[in-house]
Structure 1
């Protein structure tokens, strides 16, 4: 379940979202028997995570998530939804007190140097994507948007690449700051995403310090950083003042907590102890198919939140 797979599925999800948006709230038979849970943290499901229990209608899925006690939601592909879809989803989130999490702010080049290269055309393309993302963020009441600087430029020294990225991010910050919006830089692991420029949390921390803007912070994806560097809680502690967002996935497999090696109960406890009030995106698949698998995800989050 790689980030690029989420993004590639956007077109399919958009076609589903375009239909049936006026449908009624999910019926009582689609709810779990446990009722709403008072989670300590803002865990954020995504569309499709509970579609067997809630149906394909995105409004019903949002309402279902709220009925279970989830107080946040994220959607990598939100920028590609129709304006009508965005508005309907935003209205539902407002009514149900759901915090909108990240969406992907720009076209990500997985195998081509972009921000690292210093190419002015690529920089301008990125900045134009940031500008259009401002309007989307306003429409869906989002505060954060994901940025991935792209592939390494193997013809340039790493220090020059880093400065090229910093300059692009400074210019993007100038666009975002007046709107109180934040781009969150996501380091991605070498195994799933070989050759990308940004891979480690200390690297992201150094870049954010150099950009020196409230509009440029870190998205700490716990799955990626377990693979890339491990030492999760100490690295979260070291980066804390530059972290604005978390994402979740166990390793191996990128499924829900308890399916791999990460002690998520302890990680969540630490994050909560830091008085974190932001979103933790559930950017993972379900380890089991169908309604049974979806019920398991809900149960696992309730247990992992019990610290």
Structure 2
């Protein structure tokens, strides 16, 4: 049975971030995720989770300079020391928030380096991070991002990510399967979910092509939820979409599941 986590970076944006936890609880969600927690103290966020009886499903490691267009550094040669510092930061937040999964963003390809140099850097960095997180029972996720929204991101295809995970060879490294990105880049979703079932560690959803509520667009989400059940996926499904009008007005699709 599908279980849904509200992405507080994209939902309930009608209110300041710290007020969105209560709004998620009031809407019926039992878990939340968001892009980054680092603008707030970990203890403050943990208190909001406890107060609202919410689980923290996921957040991202520090992405570098987000405002200047950086989207992570795990695959970027020359940024290894910064990446290791970001592991320490993310691990602190994950432990305080009781968060079992953290996403390591790969980064935008640096044209000064070859594809193989990016890959070698990524594999080494993810192995390091995975080993640190494993000591605390935390899963590390990698996610392909579509090339329309994030041009030149290091990983764009689900099966490519699965091959890299195999090369990394760490049991706590899994695939973050965002259906929105997967449909844009790959399609054939049902077959791919079945093929990659053992590799998938987290799922996110949004409509395609507009990234609104999953009740619209070209993807048949009730079918996808059934396919996930059949594949044995029992984790949270992150609602990472931009509401078409207001957040509450667009939640009718999820009410039966909550």
Tell me, yes or no, if the aligned pair for 2:63 and 2:70 is still in contact at 8 Å.
Answer: no
Tell me, yes or no, if the aligned pair for 1:90 and 1:139 is still in contact at 8 Å.
Answer: no
Counterpart-to-counterpart distance in 2, 1:178 and 1:189: 32
Match runs of 1:1-307 below 5 Å:
40-47=1-8, 49-50=11-12, 56=16, 58=18, 61-93=20-52, 96=53, 98-108=54-64, 110=69, 114-119=73-78, 122-289=79-246, 294-295=248-249, 297-302=250-255, 305=257
Higher relative contact order (CA 8 A, sep 6+): 2
Deviations 1:190-221 (A, max 9, x none): 00001111111111101111111133211111
Identify, as 1 or 2, the structure richer in strand. Answer: 2
Tell me, yes or no, if the aligned pair for 1:79 and 1:103 is still in contact at 8 Å.
Answer: no
Counterpart-to-counterpart distance in 2, 1:50 and 1:162: 37
For structure 2, the residue ranges without an aligned partner over 5 or more in a row are none
Counterpart-to-counterpart distance in 2, 1:106 and 1:247: 19
Counterpart-to-counterpart distance in 1, 2:75 and 2:32: 31
Q: What is the root-mean-square deviation of aligned Cα atoms in Å? A: 2.4
For structure 1, the residue ranges without an aligned partner over 5 or more in a row are 1-39
Q: Whose radius of gyration is greater, 1 or 2?
A: 1
Tell me, yes or no, if the aligned pair for 1:184 and 1:244 is still in contact at 8 Å.
Answer: yes
Counterpart-to-counterpart distance in 2, 1:230 and 1:279: 22
Counterpart-to-counterpart distance in 2, 1:282 and 1:113: 21
Counterpart-to-counterpart distance in 2, 1:252 and 1:197: 22
Counterpart-to-counterpart distance in 2, 1:57 and 1:170: 32
Counterpart-to-counterpart distance in 1, 2:83 and 2:211: 29
Counterpart-to-counterpart distance in 2, 1:56 and 1:172: 32
Tell me, yes or no, if the aligned pair for 1:170 and 1:211 is still in contact at 8 Å.
Answer: yes
SS in 1 for 2:212: coil
Deviation at 1:107, TM superposition (A): 2.0
Counterpart-to-counterpart distance in 2, 1:57 and 1:150: 25
